[in-house]
A = this chain, B = another copy of it.
Amino acid sequence: MSNEKNVAEQEEAVDTLQNEQSDADVEIVDAEVIEDAPEAGDESEQKIAELQAKLDETENKMLRAQADFDNFKRRSRLDQEAAQKYRAQSLVSEIIPALDNFERALQIEADNDQTKSLLQGMNMVYNQLVQALKNEGVEAINSVGEQFDPHLHQAVMQIEDENYESNSVVEELQKGYKLKDRVIRPAMVKVNQ
């Protein structure tokens, strides 16, 4: 752009100069114009400048595109890793309430052999389920006896008892679960002040 502008200004200057000259001088002026050769050389230089500018621009675009690509690849990889890592989260969240009920049902005390035998079988099923979840990275959150941790525990009751450490979990009211390093459900606990 600035090149084109310079050329236009030069041409205008030459025109002005020519108009100021007398007819007698015209030949000399013409000779000078040819000598200075703004024609052949200039045109090439202009072309070179244009090409160089376009090349620079394209190379910059290219570098930018490459950087965008690299960023996209990196982000995409991180997204995929996270999606892979927590892939079971949705199903795990749905299974946890069933586990709660399973545990409650297992807590009865058998008063006959058939119930005892059924409980035994159901305990095996329960353990198999817990193992399946564990294999996918699901684990119950430790609570009783631990220091209260607001990331892992949700305090729903408080007591004041000198027999327990300060700020420790004294009872678990509902199990909490983690999927790898992500808390799926905090444990509901009773805390000592």
Which of A7-15, A109-117, A158-166, A182-190 makes up part of the contact surface? A109-117
Q: Which residues of B contact A108 (CB under 8 A)?
A: 114, 117-118
Taking CB atoms and an 8 Å cut-off, the chain A residues in 113-135 that contact chain B are: 114-115, 117-119, 121-122, 124-125, 128-129, 131-133, 135
Instruction: Judge whether A90 and B129 touch: CB under 8 Å.
Output: no
- Which candidate, A19-27, A95-103, A140-148, is the interface stretch facing chain B? A95-103
Size category, A interface? 35 or more
Tell me if A90 and B87 are in contact (CB < 8 A).
yes
What residues of chain B lie closer than 8 Å to A173, measured between beta carbons?
none
Q: Does A35 contact B (CB under 8 A)?
A: no
Instruction: Please tell me if A47 contacts chain B, counting CB pairs below 8 Å.
Output: yes
On whether A91 and B55 interact (CB within 8 A), knowing A45-B44, A105-B122, A118-B105, the answer reads no
13 sample A-B contacts, Cβ–Cβ < 8 Å, listed by A number:
A40-B41, A44-B44, A48-B51, A54-B55, A58-B62, A65-B66, A76-B76, A79-B80, A80-B83, A83-B87, A95-B129, A112-B112, A129-B129
